[in-house]
Amino acid sequence: MIIALPIAEEKVCMHFGHCQTFAFYEVDTTEKTITKVTSLVPPPHEPNILPPWIKEQGADVVITGGMGARAQNLFQAAGVQVVTGAPALDPVDVVNSYLQQELELSENPCDH
């Protein structure tokens, strides 16, 4: 499984489309461990650009602070699970919490 997270200032970005990089965590879901991390600079933020690009990187899940409904719908149509409301913490901690089913989520701060 590959989990994608938008990153800003070395933390999970609170707004999906305004990140500096995306971190892609390849994980072993049986062992609940991170096996590989890749960090990539996304293409410029424009409508409908990021969901297909993230899917092309092999992502199965996107974890973010906030994401608009349109982007969520594009991910859903592509078969990528979206988790919103993640805290602005170290992405490794967020991924590990997700794998342990202990990730505490808040409301999605994006309303568009």
SS (H, E, C) the chain: CEEEEEEECCEECCCHHHCCEEEEEEEECCCCEEEEEEEECCCCCCCCCHHHHHHHCCCCEEECCCCCHHHHHHHHHHCCEEECCCCCCCHHHHHHHHHCCCCCCCCCCCCC
Q: Where are the domains of the chain?
A: 2-99
pLDDT in tens, 52-89: 999 999 999 999 999 989 999 999 999 999 999 999 99
What fold, for 2-99? Nucleotidyltransferase; domain 5 (3.30.420)
- DSSP bridge partners of 88: none
**Sheet strands (E) in 1-112:** 2-8, 11-12, 21-28, 33-40, 61-63, 81-83
Report residue 102's pLDDT band, with 50, 70 and 90 as the boundaries: very high
Q: Taking the model in full, what pTM does it have?
A: 0.94
Q: Is the per-residue pLDDT at 11 higher than 90?
A: yes
pLDDT in tens, 20-62: 899 999 999 999 999 999 999 999 877 788 999 999 999 999 9
